Structure 1
Amino acid sequence: MPRRTATMLASTLMLIALLCAGVFIPVPYSEMTPGPTVNTLGDHDGEPVLQISDRKTYETSGHLNMTTVRVTSADYRMNLVEAVYGWLAHDNKVVPHDTLYPNGKTEEESTQENAEEFSQSQESAKVAALKELDIPVQSWVVVSTVVKGSPSQGRLHAGDVIKAVDGTPVEEPADVAELVTEHQPGEDVVFTVVPAKEQAAAEKEKRTATTTEDVTITTTTSDDAGEKRAIVGISAGIDHTFPFTVDIRLADVGGPSAGLMFALGIYDKLTPGSLTGGAFVAGTGTIDDDGKVGPIGGIEMKTVGARDKGAQYFLTPADNCAAAAQDVPDGLTLVKVDTMDDALGALTDIRSGDTADLPKCSAG
């Protein structure tokens, strides 16, 4: 065989081998792409996203769209060809697999965590919107979760309202851990609680729950990497009682990043006029009960998805601004927001058409 032919054959075989390797050898990466964007002021799957009962609401116009990101599943194994394509594609982002699924988190665990975060974001959005409108909201410290096999299993239950620990009134979730860790492992701690069933019945009947129980738990030793301390195997959180019903109907969405847009949508429906003045505004950001806006993941994918839907303005958490401004879709203005008040101020400017002084994101 002539040397030239042999060289060409060897090169072809090597190329085929490399292509096969690229297709069949998995790499430890996952992919993010723009997901659906939904108008919180509109309908989704045939019903309103925001449904408010027993309170006067007002007509709205324009868009206040929440945005999402699609990610590959936990068990999906990307190959090298797909990874290279994702790196080169403008609307995709390839990230290390552990970024999306740390510590070997399964698809089921990730879905459950996202669902819990989404539920919490809805609660915080309601509280933030109502606080902005000076509408009173009652808040309670509750048992959020009970660890299986812990001393609290069967003694405390998710939804129990924690009134006191060892007779000391509880005001914040952090108070619970602080009071428990004053004990040594093996000592007893007394929880004064309103049982979850009693609290639920009181809320349904629009009365204040008065029945309390004292529950004694024997502490055990923490088994995490931190300093050893007394624990009882629960996590504490905040629950709320609202003066009227606000339902958020949006299936197949997870995570906390829609909080800001839900809060704005609720505020818009409860106030006369239109927050947007008919403009197409999208955005993202977590929100806490006090209206503080927090950063989210996948900001570049969300701006692309919003612009593809027609958004003109994108409300961007301050901590995401620098990353988002690295590659802004044409025709989209990134508006920097740190609180719900910031967002409402920006919407006032957008509504009036006076946008020269909008706080815009910069890459610097």
Structure 2
Amino acid sequence: MAPKTIVLVLILFLLVSASDTCIPSPRSVKPIHYSSRRNEEIARLAQEGNRRWSMLQSMTENTDCWKKAYECVQSSCLDMTRDEKMLFSWRVFLCYYEDTRRSVPKCDSSDVRECTSQLSPNDFDIFTQFFNHGDSMCYYRESREWQERVDQSVRQLEDATEQTVSLLESSIANEKELIDLQTKNLEMHSTTLSQGKNVLNTVTQTGKQLDELHTQVQDSFLAIRNETEVYFNDIHAIMNWTNTKLESVASLQELLQTSFLDLRTLLVFSAQILISFLTTSLPGLTFLRSYLFLLIITNTILERVLRSYPESTRSFICTFSQYTVIFLSILHYVYTLFTKRDFTKENYELLLQMVVLHNKTQW
């Protein structure tokens, strides 16, 4: 089969498929059906509706209002009930008033009859005109909606056809490119086979050389292992002697560290007692002295108890406890400084109030 024939067959297939998917199904749109008995009447109504609808729509810029007016028709204009016709006429009536910039009648009820009963005589006459010509306007709107759907389907078919042609052209170009790549691939494959044979010969020779080298490495490794065992024995003896000396040094270090900790604890304890005494000597803070002394003594006892713990844990806990005591002391001092009460001043103010009250009672 020639390429042109294939292209035409594919285009025809896509057109048929697109027509099935682009044209709305009868279930998704309002059905439009005409009986042979009323063809002449429907044609007359459609012409009259076309004339009136075009006249009304040419007077407006708000086309959405006129489109929404048709949405109240549930099935089709032929099967339109009286209530649907009244609702359709009422919406067209409101759109007309809105476009002519007249005051739109207000009606909050969902019953159109109740809304029309509130209209003035002039407004009701205009509504009656729309109601009398409601069938013709509905048929025109229905035929126009059908025409818009048909035009949209045709445009979609044209777009699908153009896309199909472009896809076929790109497919043919890709096919040619693929053939060229396959030809180059065959040439490269032949070259790779010839190079593979050369590589195989080289690998065989290299394998023999590696076997010889492996034998030499094994002999050298045995000699090195024997020498290493001798060295390890000497190192083990040196390590034993070093461990003995380090144990002696560790004992001496522990003794020195214990003495240093005792001296450090004594100095820190004395400094804390002195600072607490000087700080609480200020007026109004003497009562804090017992609390601070209690915290310092507790911290010192805790350090002595922790001597049995490992060095890292003991050092961390001691440092943490010291800074904690300092922080709590400062916090307690600041809190008391801001919350302390001057009883002398309060008594003086209370006495003044009593004097004023006494003077008032005498008067």
Q: Same fold (TM over 0.5)?
A: no
Q: Which category of TM-score, normalised to the shorter sequence, fits these structures?
A: under 0.3
Q: Which has the higher contact order (CA 8 A, sep 6+)?
A: 1
User: Normalized per residue, which structure has more strand?
Assistant: 1
Please give the TM-score of this superposition, normalised by the length of structure 2.
0.18
User: Normalized per residue, which structure has more helix?
Assistant: 2
Please give the TM-score of this superposition, normalised by the length of structure 1.
0.18
